[in-house]
Structure 1
Amino acid sequence: MLWDGYRRCLEVDKEVEAVTYALWVDRFEDRTTSATAFAEVLGNDIERMVTAPAQAPLRRARRVLECSGPVPWSVKELAYRTALRLPALHPALFRGLRAGFHDLYGDLEPAAAPALLDHLDLPADTRHLAELR
């Protein structure tokens, strides 16, 4: 019931900063809850979201990717690679990678993350892109 509520809140067409903040600092930063939380709000659904995109689930995917910086790389890597297949998710994926690098609890794999970054289709003038590379 908890995760269904999160998923529904993340899909609404209104501001949900309180929900994404709660995910980031309460669920994703905590190593005892991050794997379950990430799987429940994105990881279990990302393949379907990419192969059959719909507006509300993609809104959820964008929001989760953006706040996924603290999720352990081993937990989020497959979802990141899957999201890479849908260009509409590239800006959110970039923000997730950036957060994984800059956040106090951020987690990235030093070789895999830059390789993923190189495959994002982003405007050359994307803010912070050059610095992250």
Structure 2
Amino acid sequence: MQAEQTARRWLADQGVSQVRGGWVSDEEPDVLLTANQVAHSWAGDVFAEDVDAADQVRLAFGLLDLLDEYWVTCEIRFANEGAEGPLPADVLWDGYRQRLEADRDAEAVTYSLWVDWFEDHVTSASAFAEVLGTDIDRVVVERSEALLRRARRVLECSGPVRWAVKEPTYRTAVRLPALHPALFRGLLTSFHDVYGDLEPADALALLDRLDLHTDTLHLAELRHVLAAGHRNHYRSPGAWDDAVRSCS
């Protein structure tokens, strides 16, 4: 909440304020702006502020809290990869972890992880380790609602992460039944995502350890394609349709 308030004050200093139904700028007070337009027009300016990089990152995450727009995470990524980057890793990933644990919508954060950090094999291993991999033992031991919330969200969007990177985390997470539905989603997207990655035999062994309702949507089909040795929907285009026919 404090980060959000700081971001609101910063926007006010830029001449941008929230009104009923949207946002307005001092330059065009009669033009109603969406949160997405505000993000595109001003989020990048955060990284031109004359403060240290850590405070820039905290301000950017405050804007994310305030606007709830994926584009803010894009500007964070651009800054990390830009001439002044990389950003301080501790502050960057603490920002992600906090928002993954928060009891509020985190779609912008999980989408950012999925398409920007996890689909890029240059960054996927380190990003996955930061948001879950290095903490999974703590999650299983402590089982706090915040940690479970973070684990579920990361597992569900972890399909593009290379199997060798995420498999040890999956094996640890399977010890906790509360994570089984999220693990199933992770396995399912590991098969279906364009960049998804899995090893069929290992994935099937994990799938068989999950305590899921027998009528879980796509459970039978996923078991079928894995048992047949298929690694990815796009490498075996007809495999899923065959599984649907076989399991119907």
TM-score by structure 1 length?
A: 0.99
CA shift, 1:51, in A, is 1.4
Residue 150 of structure 2 corresponds to 60
Secondary structure at 2:200 match in 1: coil
Measured after TM superposition, the shift of residue 19 of structure 1 is: 0.4
Is 1:31 matched up with 2:121? yes
Separation (CA, whole Å) in 1 of partners of 2:219 and 2:103:
28
| Structure 1 residue 4, shift from structure 2 partner | 0.4
Q: Secondary structure at the match of 2:152?
A: helix
> Out of 115, 120, 131, which is 2:210 matched to?
120
The CA deviation at 1:7 is: 0.2
Aligned to 2:134: 44
Could you list the structure 1 runs, at least 4 aligned residues long, displaced by more than 6 angstroms after superposition.
none
User: How many Å separate the matches in 2 of 1:108 and 1:97?
Assistant: 8
The structural deviation recorded for 1:114 is 0.6
**2: CA distance between counterparts of 1:14 and 1:71?**
25
Post-superposition CA distance 1:90-118 (Å, at most 9, x none): 00000000000000000001210011000
Gaps spanning 5+ residues in structure 1: where? none
Which is higher, the Rg of structure 1 or of structure 2? 2
User: Is residue 95 of structure 1 aligned with residue 168 of structure 2?
Assistant: no
Q: Distance in 1 between matches of 2:105 and 2:141?
A: 26
**Code of the aligned partner of 2:159:** G
Query: Share of identical aligned residues, percent?
Result: 73
Looking at structure 2, the residues matched to 51 and 57 of structure 1 have their Cα atoms a distance apart, in angstroms, of 10
Structure 1 residue 52: Cα displacement: 1.6
| Counterpart AA for 1:55 | E
What TM-score do you get using the length of structure 2 for normalisation?
A: 0.53
Task: Measure the CA separation in 2 of the matches of 1:50 and 1:15.
Answer: 23
Structure 2 partner of 1:7 = 97
Q: Which amino acid aligns with 1:108?
A: L
Give the equivalent residue in structure 1 for 2:199: 109
Q: Is residue 122 of structure 2 the alignment partner of residue 18 of structure 1?
A: no
Partner amino acid, structure 2, of 1:104: V
What is aligned with 2:169?
A: 79
Report which structure shows greater RCO (CA 8 Å, sep ≥6).
1
Give the Cα separation in 1 of the matches to 2:183 and 2:137.
15
Q: How many residues align?
A: 133
